[in-house]
Every structure is written in structure tokens, then in C-alpha cells.
Amino acid sequence: MVDETHAPFMEPVPAWVYPSGGFTAETFLRLRGLPKRTQLIDGGLVFTGPQTSWHSRVVSLLVYELDRQAPAELRAAREMAVRLDDRQVPTPDVIVLSSEAFDRDDQANHFEADEVVLAVEAVSADSADRDRDTKPHLYARAGIEHFWRIEDDDGRAVVYTYTRNPAGQYAITGIHHDRLVLSVPYDVEIDLTKVGARRS
């Protein structure tokens, strides 16, 4: 039973938060003043809670190594919105995209799905269903060729890698502990034990 005498007070939600029929990607991308990393899923606003230290470390490691090891035509970026279609604008934790798109406009607030070759989600407690099910489905449907999901196994990073199959769905290609060694979307080797490492 909820103790209503100590229940948090909620201001009325303004009508613009849930417009009839939901938001379009075009309208969403013009909104200003939204909380950081607000996403558009199925035309509705999705708000993301604060990151854990583990989540921040794993995302930082992936962005650094993917960008450092990328061929000249590709770059890695952190927490940038990707317009998948007219009602879907998620913010993957990490993306790998074309260098042309990366360098095109410093003021850009999103990229397009056809510019992205890899989307990565580090699973958080408040977004586990979206990270494991909803978002991979949307990424595959939009034509993003590769997807990685990273799980927290008692502080250790476990990476599940997927590639889009001819049916337009992701098929798992590997489960990686301690060391991630892949040849797609390019040759990459990442020491996953660094996620849990502390500086001495």
C-alpha cells in the first residue's frame, strides 16, 4: 500500500508531452529544453535515468577503441540520436558511422540510419527491455547492419554481437567475455577487462 501522506507531488503533465497521434521525428528533433538523451520511440517521448558508473565506463571504452581502430572512412560517436523513420529517433549508447556524416556539420543533433553501420546498447536497469528487444528490432528494420548489446555480469562486460540477416532481422554471431576480437564491421580488438579496472 502506498503511503499517500509521503507520496511525491507531481505537477500536471503539459499537453504538448503527448500530442494526438504522437510526435514525428521532424517535430521531435526541433524540440528544445528536453532532458538529456530523451528519445522518440513509437512517436512517444522516452526519458532516460542517470547512468551508472559501470555504464559510463563501458561506453567510454567502446567509443575510444572503436574510433581509434576504425578505418579512415568510419568514426565512432557517443550518445547521438539516430533518425530511423518518421516515429523513431533513439539514442544508441555508441554508434559507428561514416566519416562523411561525422564531419558534415558540427551543429547536427542527429544522424540518419543509412549513415550508421553499428549501433551499441549497454543494458541499463531502467531500459533493459528496450535495449534487449525494442531498439534492436528498430535498428534492424531501419537497415543498420550490425548491433552489439553489452551486459553487466557482476562488473564484467559481456558483449553479444549481431549481424542483420537476409530476412532483415539480427542473428547472433558471438558472445564475448574478457576480449572482443572481430573482423566486422572492421578489424577490432578490445580488452573488456578494462571496464572493471581501477587506476592505482
Domain annotation covers residue 177: yes
Residues 149-176: tens digit of each pLDDT: 999 999 999 999 999 999 999 999 999 9
Would you give the DSSP letter of residue 143?
T
Residues 27 and 116 in one domain: no
Mean pLDDT over residues 90-106, rounded? 96
Residues 36 and 84 in one domain: no
Residues 98 and 17 in one domain: no
Residues 73 and 129 in one domain: yes
Average pLDDT, the chain: 91
All three cell numbers of 138: 528498430
Label residue 107 by pLDDT band (50, 70, 90).
Answer: confident
Cα distance between residue 189 and residue 180, in whole Å: 5
Residues of the domain holding 189: 53-195
In 11-120, alpha helices (H): 25-30, 53-69, 99-104
Nearest alpha carbon to residue 184 among 164, 157, 156: 164
- Residue-level length of the chain: 200
Query: Which amino acid belongs to residue 168?
Result: G
Mean pLDDT over residues 175-189, rounded? 97
pLDDT above 70 (res 18): no
Tell me the CATH number at 71.
3.90.1570.10
37: left (phi over 0), alpha (psi -120 to 50) or beta: left
Close Cβ partners of 60 (under 8 Å, ≥ 6 residues apart): 78
Would you give the DSSP letter of residue 150?
E
Q: How many domains does the chain have?
A: 2
Residues 76 and 150 in one domain: yes
Q: For the whole model, what pTM was predicted?
A: 0.89
Residues 97 and 159 in one domain: yes
Phi and psi for 75 in degrees, rounded to 5?
-140, 160
Cα distance between residue 95 and residue 74, in whole Å: 10
Label residue 106 by pLDDT band (50, 70, 90).
Answer: confident
Residues 61 and 153 in one domain: yes
Mean pLDDT over residues 27-38, rounded? 91
